[in-house]
Chains A and B, each alone.
Chain A
Amino acid sequence: MKKQMIFAQFFKNNGLLMGSLLIGLVGFWVIVLVVLPQLSMLDYSFRYNLPPADLGGPKDVYTLHNYKHLLYGAEGSEGTYNTVDLMVFVRTIIAAMLVTIANILMCYPLAYYLGQSKGSGFVRLLVVLLIIPYWINEILRAFALRIIFGDSGLINEVLMLTHLTSEPIDFIRQDIALYAGLGYAYILLMLFPMYNVIESLDRNQIEAARDMGASWVRIHRRIVIPHAKPGIASGATMVFMLSAGALAAPQVLGGPSSLWFTQLVYQWFNDSLNWQQGAAYAMVLLVSTIVIVIGLMRVFKVNMGDIGK
């Protein structure tokens, strides 16, 4: 009853043609592109990987098999956990969190500096310089780091030239290149939301606090950080979700023995052609990252509406 009222009002405000166009486009996006694909992926993840002939037959039933595989490994090895895949999963989540924290620490001083020194030409130049790497392909950015971190890369050459090391350090095998690459890939998604909120902070508040004798640390803790919280939360959410779901950087920069969870998904999907298993792994990644983000938002008391500002 109420719903009909809303729709009637909506069409009255927009006219029949425009109203249905709007509803149609939004409906197509939300239902056909977002909700239904996720649901069908969920559906897939509970099914066996069957040859086409068996589809819809008596064997085509729901199962927890794909999720069990992540926990216990292949069939027949019940009782022992699938430590390889689980370790990859835990490592991915923890590393993504560390990358997020590192990005917050790196970006906060710059965001504060850019946000509080208004309008000077130098600051504008810095912002333009920041935009440039943002639009370079993700693959190319990873490739650039690979050139630098390689066995005969720039860093190793410099280290050897200054006799800090006598042999090249294998940055790639030690995953240093991977973490540098992940931190590099999404750092600007942290910086810009932070910069936007700090820019809106009234400078007088800081002046007032300073006049009243507040220390430098106290000003940041009591004034700047509380004001910047939505921006930090927005940036942290993006960086965490994107680095946990990153595929390009681990593929290009990851060592031969270490995997990222998305690479497992990729392998199931494209190498083993087991879509059901891949869907289950992707589902685990999606649900766990969302749960972590929502949990942290509760802890830090941030709203979903702040994201993307």
Chain B
Amino acid sequence: MSSKFVSRFALGAYLIIFFSYLLGPLLVMSLTAFNSSGFPSVSPWACFTYEWFTVLFKDERILGSILNSLKIGAGTVILSVSMGLAASLVLTQVWPKLRTTYYTLIIAPILIPGVVLGISTVVFWDKVGRMFGPSTEAFFHNGLLLTILGQSTFIASYCMLVFVARLQRFDPGLTEAALDLGATHTQAFRKILLPFMRPAIASAAVLAFLASFENYNTTTFTFGNYPTLTIELAQKVRYGINPSISSLAFIIIALTVFGALAVEAVRRNSARKEAISEGKAVAKSGSKLPGFLRGNPAAFGFVGLAIVAIVMIGTAQSHDPQQCKMQVREAKQVEIQKRIEELRQQRLIKDQTDARQGPDIFGTPDSEGSDAPKAPSGSGAFGGVFAPTNLDNEDSD
């Protein structure tokens, strides 16, 4: 019994440590978005403020880069979903002996370092551009095109994996039946395979878009004149940090939480529908929540998100951090004053000991407070150099 308790305790502790390693940094980063201190931090909490969101929304470069990210994301989704679908269909038909080689070839891009993919894409299309002559060079150096091609190289592999998983449940007999009944191959594809693959296509598209949106390693070589959001973020993080990055992170995290809950809800719904259609489970009722909220974490998330947004906008109207900031500034001033005062005191004590112990012939030490920083060792040319305690005091400055 007690060993069971110990193992439960150990499991709990482990779960807490693991999840705080995973989620803690994100939480701290989100909090720094609301602290008015100029460097993102939580511990000397200055003032609760929304000003970093304002700074963020005024940042032209960030806004422009979001547009680039969306364009590149759309292109990558189209290209990699179609390539991934084609590759997975070929995989089901490829000659058995070639299968392993073929699979290795189409899975390899996931394993190739993103840096290598980026460089090889730039180098290759540069060469192609040179082959076609200088008039086409601008086309082959276009950052949008290169980034889409570079990212699709490995994102198509992710899509392919999604499609392969779905295709395992496909009954090829359906297509054969359609063909026997006189459908053309294109018709069979459009009417049978495509509807069956629709959920997989949707999730592959989401996956591809997110992977494209957050990619850095490949994009950093290919982006040319079209920096994506990730590139802009990297520039900002590397050359001077301020909490407006945290405020962007907060927005992204909020959207991600919502997205994850939505995906979970869709999955759960479809699982329940399947269970009901198989007669295994009966639709449950009797829960007290309104039907729209029941068992629907996305709805919960959405309501939560809406509440947070309303509260934020509401308090942003009335909340004015100016006064708090003034207080913080005053507190800082007071602290600085205090430090100066302390230093002065130290000097004073030191000078007095100097005066007491130092040989008189080197002049009477001047211990006026205003002169303290300038004359740490008395007024004589040699000051209190010969005073025995002089070296010790030097350290405490």
Chain A interface (Cβ < 8 Å from any Cβ of B): 6, 10, 13-19, 21-23, 25-26, 28-30, 33-34, 36-38, 40-41, 44, 55, 106, 109-110, 113, 124, 126, 128-133, 135-148, 150, 152-154, 157-158, 184, 187, 237-238, 241-242, 244-248, 251-252, 262, 265-266, 269-270, 275, 278-279, 282-283, 285-286, 289-290, 293, 303-305, 307-308
Among residues of B, the one whose C-beta sits closest to the C-beta of A156 is B43
Q: List 22 A-B contacts (CB under 8 A).
A: A21-B86, A26-B106, A29-B87, A41-B119, A109-B14, A128-B297, A130-B22, A132-B256, A136-B26, A140-B29, A140-B249, A152-B43, A153-B43, A154-B43, A187-B22, A245-B217, A275-B123, A279-B123, A283-B116, A286-B113, A289-B113, A305-B103
Option from B90, B107, B153 in Cβ contact (under 8 Å) with A33: B153
Option from A29, A38, A269, A283 in Cβ contact (under 8 Å) with B83: A29
**What's the Cα separation between A23 and B83 when bound, in Å?**
10
Contact status B185-A18, CB under 8 Å: yes
| Nearest CB of A to B24, in Å | 8
User: B170: which A residues are within 8 A, CB to CB?
Assistant: none
| Nearest CB of B to A97, in Å | 15
Interface residues of B in 255-280 (CB under 8 A from A): 256-257, 259-261, 263-264
User: A270: which B residues are within 8 A, CB to CB?
Assistant: 220-221
Kindly state whether residue B112 has any CB partner on chain A within 8 Å.
yes
Option from A23, A37, A244, A245 in Cβ contact (under 8 Å) with B124: A37
Contact status A129-B19, CB under 8 Å: yes
The number of residue pairs between A and B whose CB atoms lie closer than 8 Å in the complex comes to 254
Among residues of A, the one whose C-beta sits closest to the C-beta of B101 is A304
User: A289: which B residues are within 8 A, CB to CB?
Assistant: 113
Option from A126, A184, A237 in Cβ contact (under 8 Å) with B111: A237
Contact status A40-B107, CB under 8 Å: no
Contact status B264-A308, CB under 8 Å: no
Given A110-B18, A136-B253, A237-B111, do A18 and B186 touch, yes or no (CB 8 Å)? yes
Among residues of A, the one whose C-beta sits closest to the C-beta of B110 is A308
| Nearest CB of A to B100, in Å | 6
| Nearest CB of B to A230, in Å | 14
**What's the Cα separation between A244 and B83 when bound, in Å?**
27
Contact status A110-B14, CB under 8 Å: yes
Contact status B114-A247, CB under 8 Å: yes
Among residues of A, the one whose C-beta sits closest to the C-beta of B17 is A106
Contact status A157-B119, CB under 8 Å: no
**What's the Cα separation between A34 and B157 when bound, in Å?**
11
Contact status A25-B83, CB under 8 Å: yes
Chain B interface (Cβ < 8 Å from any Cβ of A): 11, 14-15, 18-19, 21-26, 28-29, 32, 39-44, 82-83, 86-87, 89-90, 93, 95, 100, 103-117, 119-124, 127, 130, 149, 152-153, 156-157, 161, 184-186, 189, 210, 213-214, 216-217, 220-221, 229-230, 233-234, 237-238, 241, 245-246, 248-249, 252-253, 256-257, 259-261, 263-264, 297
User: B127: which A residues are within 8 A, CB to CB?
Assistant: 40
**What's the Cα separation between A252 and B256 when bound, in Å?**
23
User: B245: which A residues are within 8 A, CB to CB?
Assistant: 140, 143
Contact status A22-B90, CB under 8 Å: yes
**What's the Cα separation between A307 and B24 when bound, in Å?**
30
Option from B89, B184, B216, B259 in Cβ contact (under 8 Å) with A22: B89
User: A269: which B residues are within 8 A, CB to CB?
Assistant: 119, 221
Among residues of A, the one whose C-beta sits closest to the C-beta of B27 is A144
Contact status A245-B113, CB under 8 Å: yes
User: A30: which B residues are within 8 A, CB to CB?
Assistant: 105-106
The interface residues of chain A, by DSSP majority, are classed as: helix
Contact status B217-A136, CB under 8 Å: no
User: B111: which A residues are within 8 A, CB to CB?
Assistant: 237-238, 241, 290, 293, 307
User: A144: which B residues are within 8 A, CB to CB?
Assistant: 25-26, 28-29, 249
Given A22-B86, A33-B149, A142-B237, do A286 and B123 touch, yes or no (CB 8 Å)? no
Among residues of A, the one whose C-beta sits closest to the C-beta of B19 is A129
Contact status A147-B119, CB under 8 Å: no
Contact status B234-A139, CB under 8 Å: yes
User: A139: which B residues are within 8 A, CB to CB?
Assistant: 216, 230, 233-234, 237
**What's the Cα separation between A270 and B234 when bound, in Å?**
15
**What's the Cα separation between A307 and B109 when bound, in Å?**
12
User: A246: which B residues are within 8 A, CB to CB?
Assistant: 217
Given A37-B124, A41-B116, A304-B103, do A147 and B32 touch, yes or no (CB 8 Å)? yes
**What's the Cα separation between A132 and B210 when bound, in Å?**
12
Given A153-B41, A247-B220, A252-B234, do A135 and B256 touch, yes or no (CB 8 Å)? yes
User: B123: which A residues are within 8 A, CB to CB?
Assistant: 37, 40-41, 44, 275, 279
**What's the Cα separation between A292 and B95 when bound, in Å?**
29
Given A29-B87, A128-B264, do A38 and B257 touch, yes or no (CB 8 Å)? no
